[in-house]
Amino acid sequence: MSVVISDTSPLHYLILCGAEAILPQLFQQVVIPPTVFQELQQPNTPASVKQWAGSLPMWATVQ
């Protein structure tokens, strides 16, 4: 089963809380739309979120 992240906020806050590791426990694959991926890399985005987006885990893809 896969899930699509259609909004930036849920992923953004899971990363900030250090809770993004729950996603692969719940879903086999997380699909991030290109627009959401771009928002995760904006200049005002916290460094931890930009770092995560810069090195996506194997369970996350941009489509």
Tokens of 25: 């426990």
| For range 39-51, the mean pLDDT | 96
Q: To the nearest 5 percent, what fractions of the chain are helix, strand and coil?
A: 45, 15, 40
Condensed to tens digits (0 to 9), the pLDDT of residues 17-43 reads 999 999 999 888 999 999 999 999 999
- Give the pLDDT band of residue 12 (cuts 50, 70, 90): very high
- What's the predicted TM-score (pTM) here? 0.85
